[in-house]
Amino acid sequence: MYQTLSTQLDNNILIVTINRPEKMNALNQQMMGELGLVIDEIYRNKDIKAAILTGSGEKAFVAGADISEFLTLSPKQGEELAKSGHVVFQRIEYSSKPIIAAVNGFALGGGCELAMACHFRIASENAKFGQPEVNLGLIPGYGGTQRLTQLVGKGKATELMMTGDMLTATEAQAWGLVNHVVKLEELLPKAIAILQKIQTKAPLAIARVVKCVNAAVDKDVDGWETEIHEFAACFATKDLQEGAEAFIQKRQANFKGE
């Protein structure tokens, strides 16, 4: 089905592997289109409860964009390219199902932006992060200026984007860009273990966590009012009843997403 991605569904977790190893998994327009399709599948397929985005091989998650595609673009075409990227990455960010990035190697430019669009990030020890677009006379165009600022703060984000420097996995964790740093062979097992834990929780509540967290950084939404509304909505669910009864009865809750 895909030429730039491979997918594997196991225990309700879809592992999406970006698969252009000859180009260090660089983003191109075909890959962006296929990412949009796989995100649609995550939204639509009830058998998919969560997803992991990772890169093929050991060197790169996504080592940037395919620069050869930029050489002939007009400003209008550049605008359209950025808008299309925003749409795909926002659908990742706003997914009611957890989507996490398992970053193996370089996550630069569009690759760093893709990782930041995920709900959170786990990195291998050899991972490196950066927004080096200024080296090409560009700036991040897929939401990187906004998400990096939200994640690490204005001063650090500005320095990183102005210098084009890269962060090691350890530095990225210290800056708040990455949640966990593990050995390369432990990367997918760690991501799967976290998602398996999340799958034991109430799925409607997980979706509301995503909505409220996104509202906290959305200038057009009142995050406080969103939290009140979503908290109240939980009381109309069978999951809340099940969770409360399980707690009182000292047993494991069996949530059904209802």
Q: Which residues contact 92 (CB under 8 A, 6 or more apart)?
A: 39, 53, 99, 114, 117, 118
Q: Measuring CA to CA, which residue among 128, 5, 11 is closest to residue 58?
A: 128
* pLDDT at residue 70 in the model: 84
| pLDDT bracket for residue 71 (50, 70, 90) | confident
- Which of 198, 222, 241 corresponds to the end of one domain? 198
Mean pLDDT of 2-27: 95
Q: Which residues contact 37 (CB under 8 A, 6 or more apart)?
A: 1, 2
Residue 61 shares a structural domain with residue 91: yes
Query: What pairing do the DSSP bridges indicate for beta strands 5-10 and 166-168?
Result: unpaired
Total domains in the chain come to 2
pLDDT of 84 above 90:
yes
Q: Domain for residue 236, yes or no?
A: yes
Percent of the chain at pLDDT exceeding 70: 100
pLDDT of 10 above 90:
yes
Q: Measuring CA to CA, which residue among 4, 16, 224 is closest to residue 117?
A: 16
| pLDDT bracket for residue 76 (50, 70, 90) | very high
Q: Which domain CATH number covers 27?
A: 3.90.226.10
Residue 181 shares a structural domain with residue 206: no
* Contact criterion met (CB below 8 Å) for 34 and 6: no
Q: What gap in Å lies between CA 247 and CA 239, rounded to an integer?
A: 12
Mean pLDDT of 10-15: 97
Residue 186 shares a structural domain with residue 118: yes
Domain boundaries, position 226 = 201-249
Residue 206 shares a structural domain with residue 108: no
Residue 243 shares a structural domain with residue 160: no
Residues identified as active-site: 113, 133
Phi, psi of 124 (to 5 degrees): -80, 160
Ranges of beta strands (E only) in 125-239 are 128-130, 166-168, 180-182
Residue 178 shares a structural domain with residue 69: yes
pLDDT of 68 above 90:
no
Query: What pairing do the DSSP bridges indicate for beta strands 60-62 and 50-55?
Result: unpaired
249: left (phi over 0), alpha (psi -120 to 50) or beta: alpha
Residue 217 shares a structural domain with residue 143: no
Residue 43 shares a structural domain with residue 99: yes
For the entire predicted model, the pTM comes to: 0.95
The type of residue at 135 is N
Residue 189 shares a structural domain with residue 231: no
Q: Domain for residue 255, yes or no?
A: no
Percent of the chain at pLDDT exceeding 90: 95
Residue 110 shares a structural domain with residue 205: no
Q: Which domain CATH number covers 243?
A: 1.10.12
Residue 238 shares a structural domain with residue 132: no
Residue 138 shares a structural domain with residue 87: yes
Q: Domain for residue 258, yes or no?
A: no
Q: What gap in Å lies between CA 187 and CA 81, rounded to an integer?
A: 31
Q: Domain for residue 170, yes or no?
A: yes
